[in-house]
Structure 1
Amino acid sequence: MTSIVQFDDPTDAPATDDQARLDRIREALGEAGYTVDGVEALLGADAAAALHRDLLVPAIFVLERDADKNPPLAALIRLFLLAEPVPFAELPAADELLAARILTDPAADGTVTPRFDIRPYAVASGDDTVDLFVASDLGGLQVPADQPLRRDHVVGIGPATTNLAQLTPRQPVSAALDLGVGMGVQTMHLLQHAERVVATDISERAIEFAHFNLLLNAPALGLDPANLAARVSLRTGDLLEPVTGEEFDLVVTNPPFVITPRREGEDASEQYTYRDGGRPGDRLVEDLIRGLGAHLTRGGIAVMLGNWEVHEDDENWHSRLETWPGEEADLWVIEREHAEPIEYADMWLKDAAENRELDSWREQFTRYLADFESRSVESIGMGMLLLHRPETPGVEPVRRFETLPHQLEQPLGERIRVTFDADDWLRERSDDDLADETLVVAGDVTEERWTLPGNPDPSAILLRQGGGFRRTFPESTELASFVSVCDGELTARQILVAIAALLEVDEDALLASVLADARTLVSLGFLRPAWM
């Protein structure tokens, strides 16, 4: 008989009713060496890295040869990371895992398979790392080949998870918000530097996964399982509704931003809750950009991943985004890539394994294309959306839009915080004030000059960042001369007065031109005040 799965049923998640059982599971996983380092030690660096790219064969090959080096760890890897049946008797904490609803009942041959995924994870805590275990639903490679993912799928650790964690500033804060907590990894990171975390999700089932993971890892996270609410508040609700009237020093969110065609009369059970927010087009991202600023404290930062539409009559890829935020917040958007409607539809249909059933795949593909055509969508932008509430009320908000498709340095959280700090610093200074500052070139910045053969003068002069966002900034001869002397000894005014005399150009015009570029170079981290 086929069992009926109730949509978004919090009881269809790992059980949290027995803390002693969770403690035994955690201890057994640790004793088996089921950690990030332990898995790599058994499989080798190459096979372990391949697993992160969903390539299973290298790990299978190694275990066929080396499983006897650590049989309990090999059994856990086969069960959770390779989704293979494993003899119940060979599995550490097998009885506890079964009682916690993580395993299927043993089959006739004595083997079990996982109902959910548990995998090792590590987060930074000061100069050390903390080993954790993270439960989620089985991923696309773990579910039967003829089945798409369930609609209330609670997604596991993936590239978006790690990307968001790398983007998040990690200075100590009083209150943080994890909007769209899912299985809870961002909250685990936040607990390393936030006194209190509010974690929300529209899915009750996702909240229960997060609850399980927090209790499972309570000692490593500094939590009292009997008083979880002392540091973490788990709340169910849509977007910002659960935190009405509250402000946070830091907000992190990987919301369900995937642009999905709507169907008249649909309900949540027809949507993939981990990626589909149930709004037309990019309305969900727009709603968050419009609303998040009011939930930030002075100096607060929101870090968000998202997608947005570019319409055929738009002036540029960010002209619609410019109209979304209120005057209370800065908005900085970094487009990492973009996709045409056909590419986008194909990508997300494959993400949920909907392409496994041909007829429904064709129907869904057609709906995607018709939906994009109805709004004259030319392309879909994908990237990071960062908000900041200025320290000083009533100042002009920053609007910064960049396209950076190249590889960026990770982590970027500190760079993001420093950039917003620079924006606050610059807003407090007129050009006259800036002219009286001493500036220095950041340590990772180099200059590149392009010269045509036989031409004594360069045809292009470029400043390059070796780290962080790895930007390139074109320089004029005057700006290059100015930057080359920024060593913290002379003020900007002293340098520019000397350059104006040397080049025999108008001093005021040179000051105005170069200081405008210097302002940009400070905000982007090429230059910084000497005293910082």
Structure 2
Amino acid sequence: MSDFSFVPSAPRSRDTWLLKALAADLGEAGYTVDGVAGFLGDDASAALQRDQLVPALLACRAEAEAEQPRRLALPVLLWLLGETVERAQLDAALPRTGTEGLLELGLIERGRIFGTFRAAVDLRPYAADDGGAGTAENPGGDLWVASDLGSHQRPGVLRRDHVLGIGQASLSLAQLTVRTPVDRALDLGTGCGIQTFHLLRHARHVTATDISERALAFARFNLLLNAPQLGIDPEQPDERFTLRLGSLLEPVQGESFDLVVSNPPFVITPRTGTETDADRFTYRDGGLAGDGIVAALMSGLETVLAPGGTAQMLGNWEIPAGREEAWSERLEQWLPEGTDAWVIQRERLTPPEYAEMWLRDAAQGRDREDYVAAYAGYLADFASRDVGSVGFGSVWLRRRQNPGAEALRRFEEITHPIEQPVGPHLQAAVERFDWLAGSSDLAAAHLLVAEDVTEERHQRPGAEHPGVILLRQGAGLRRTNLMSTELTGFVSACDGELSAGQISSALAALLDRTDAAFAPDLMQEVRNLVLDGFLVPVSG
């Protein structure tokens, strides 16, 4: 079985001494997130985030004119900007590794002019921001991530087995994931290994899978390049991670994990009768029709989850024309009986918008006729299934320890900005659900208003009472709740002194409410406020 240390056209990771030398060179040159930002300045850094290279290139050229140019300019020129450099520059900036070492690692290739070299990959600094904390075994710190060069660095259509780097989707998943300690975790569709980076901060062992050998080679290189920061012994990497080749759950059938994360190749792509694996962009296209990848995972992940184990993933799903308000119906049908689920839809695109986004992503607009044909293929594919729009969002799943317990099934659309990282808030919300499910009498609970909650009142000029009262969250999912007079009065009394039942009784007397439905209806509204985090139980 391949250990993916030597795969054609991918970085090579057999020589652990050379990887250690490279890490030392990069760190000494200041090639870190903060170092690059400080070197380029705010405007050039912001432009680079937009894949606009010119301001950074100008900064590097200005640095070359200095009496003693900083070593940092070389890796920026080479790997972030895709510029050609000379052997003497490489040897001076990265003296431990040198030009020959970089060639041996597969990070550079010879240029067209003798004695010049250019990047074979994108190699950039990275810093974790997932809401988790480092440990003695995995303290975190400055990291480096190799991936394939983008079209802004190397013009042209991406190669079909392109290995994606640090994108917004992978960052979103890292910030969504709950970072509680676990024994075994699975990174399904690891790509260049970003999710495994984060998982190793709180998992004893991570299994990472992908359908691409090149992706697994990139992942292995990245993990071993950052071995000290990730708590990996380069001589015994299997103690911390395992890499496996295969599609979906096939490589791990019969095993169980406490946590699964996945940024799968979920992009909905028109299928043709003549395509082969070599025709697909493997980093985004799993080969199934429509949203089949997401359907397969939502229905099948339970089989590899330990009891109580959770899974978090990103995905697209098709919404039938005219059913936009009922977008969750199909997703609910995919879920096994014993699975809890919380799906948050963050965005919705029309078929033309969706086609344009993914054609642009792979730089497929250079040939007009090819672009027209591909665009038409997307529209025809969606029309064949009567798709009116495509939803994008996140999925949280849990295999219930007790199949007979109350099910958590939540499907909601949240399109406004939320706090990042949001993982800790998702975990707190699940804990509140479990507390409510295990509480036989909410009326006996003592509640407090969460610290981030504010009240907002709107009324006509001269009016005696407000016409609209809103509760707003300043943190987490930043929800807004429209309040009734009764519920406003209840919340204003939640200082932890009186029980929920005592407050309800006092309100009934104050408002002269003698109807039998008053208390149960109010308690249901209170329950929703607890579930959403506006109210929290008094600890202890």
Structure 1 equivalent of residue 84 of structure 2: 85
Structure 1 equivalent of residue 119 of structure 2: 114
Tell me the amino acid that sits aligned with residue 469 of structure 2.
I
User: Whole-Å Cα distance in 1 between the matches of residues 510 and 113 of structure 2?
Assistant: 90
Provide closer, same or farther for how the CA distance between residues 443 and 392 of structure 1 changes in structure 2, counting only shifts above 3 A: farther
Q: How far did residue 295 of structure 1 move? A: 2.5
CA contact (8 A) 1:441 1:486 kept: yes
Tell me the amino acid that sits aligned with residue 285 of structure 1.
V
Within 5 A, what are the aligned runs for 1:88-487?
A: 88-91=87-90, 92=94, 93-123=98-128, 126=133, 129-144=140-155, 147-314=156-323, 316-430=326-440, 433-487=441-495
User: Whole-Å Cα distance in 2 between the matches of residues 26 and 45 of structure 1?
Assistant: 26
Tell me the amino acid that sits aligned with residue 63 of structure 1.
C
Structure 1 equivalent of residue 8 of structure 2: 11
The number of equivalent residue pairs is: 520
Tell me the amino acid that sits aligned with residue 495 of structure 2.
D
* Structure 2 alignment gaps of length 5 or more: 1-5
Structure 1 equivalent of residue 3 of structure 2: none
CA contact (8 A) 1:250 1:296 kept: yes
RMSD: 1.7
User: Whole-Å Cα distance in 2 between the matches of residues 107 and 363 of structure 1?
Assistant: 35
SS of the residue corresponding to residue 209 of structure 1 reads helix
SS of the residue corresponding to residue 151 of structure 1 reads coil
SS of the residue corresponding to residue 342 of structure 2 reads strand
Cα deviation, 1:73-131, whole Å, max 9, x if unaligned, reads: 10110111111111122022322111112211244252211111111111267367511
Tell me the amino acid that sits aligned with residue 492 of structure 2.
S
User: Whole-Å Cα distance in 2 between the matches of residues 458 and 183 of structure 1?
Assistant: 54
Q: How far did residue 21 of structure 1 move? A: 1.6
Q: How far did residue 457 of structure 1 move? A: 2.4
Q: How far did residue 245 of structure 1 move? A: 2.4
Bigger CA drift: 166-175 or 384-393? 384-393
Cα deviation, 1:388-420, whole Å, max 9, x if unaligned, reads: 234543213222122111111111111111111
TM-score (structure 1 length as normaliser): 0.94
Structure 1 equivalent of residue 75 of structure 2: 76
TM-score (structure 2 length as normaliser): 0.93
CA contact (8 A) 1:47 1:58 kept: yes
CA contact (8 A) 2:189 2:262 kept: yes
User: Percentage identity across aligned positions?
Assistant: 51
User: Whole-Å Cα distance in 2 between the matches of residues 330 and 64 of structure 1?
Assistant: 55
SS of the residue corresponding to residue 211 of structure 1 reads helix
Residue 38 of structure 2 is aligned with which of 36, 41, 48?
A: 41
SS of the residue corresponding to residue 113 of structure 1 reads strand
CA contact (8 A) 1:97 1:103 kept: yes
Tell me the amino acid that sits aligned with residue 338 of structure 1.
R
CA contact (8 A) 1:437 1:529 kept: yes
* Structure 1 alignment gaps of length 5 or more: 1-8
CA contact (8 A) 1:42 1:66 kept: no
SS of the residue corresponding to residue 516 of structure 1 reads helix
Structure 2 equivalent of residue 54 of structure 1: 51
SS of the residue corresponding to residue 187 of structure 1 reads helix
Cα deviation, 1:233-285, whole Å, max 9, x if unaligned, reads: 11111111112122222211110010000011322111110001111111110
Provide closer, same or farther for how the CA distance between residues 491 and 320 of structure 1 changes in structure 2, counting only shifts above 3 A: same
Cα deviation, 1:416-452, whole Å, max 9, x if unaligned, reads: 111111121111124xx11111111111011111112
SS of the residue corresponding to residue 72 of structure 2 reads helix
Provide closer, same or farther for how the CA distance between residues 490 and 392 of structure 1 changes in structure 2, counting only shifts above 3 A: farther
User: Whole-Å Cα distance in 2 between the matches of residues 455 and 390 of structure 1?
Assistant: 51
Structure 2 equivalent of residue 66 of structure 1: 63
User: Whole-Å Cα distance in 2 between the matches of residues 240 and 133 of structure 1?
Assistant: 29
CA contact (8 A) 1:307 1:383 kept: yes
Q: How far did residue 22 of structure 1 move? A: 1.5
SS of the residue corresponding to residue 142 of structure 2 reads strand
Question: Are residues 1:22 and 2:22 paired?
Answer: no
User: Whole-Å Cα distance in 2 between the matches of residues 374 and 490 of structure 1?
Assistant: 59
User: Whole-Å Cα distance in 1 between the matches of residues 308 and 429 of structure 2?
Assistant: 12
Tell me the amino acid that sits aligned with residue 299 of structure 2.
R
User: Whole-Å Cα distance in 1 between the matches of residues 349 and 265 of structure 2?
Assistant: 18
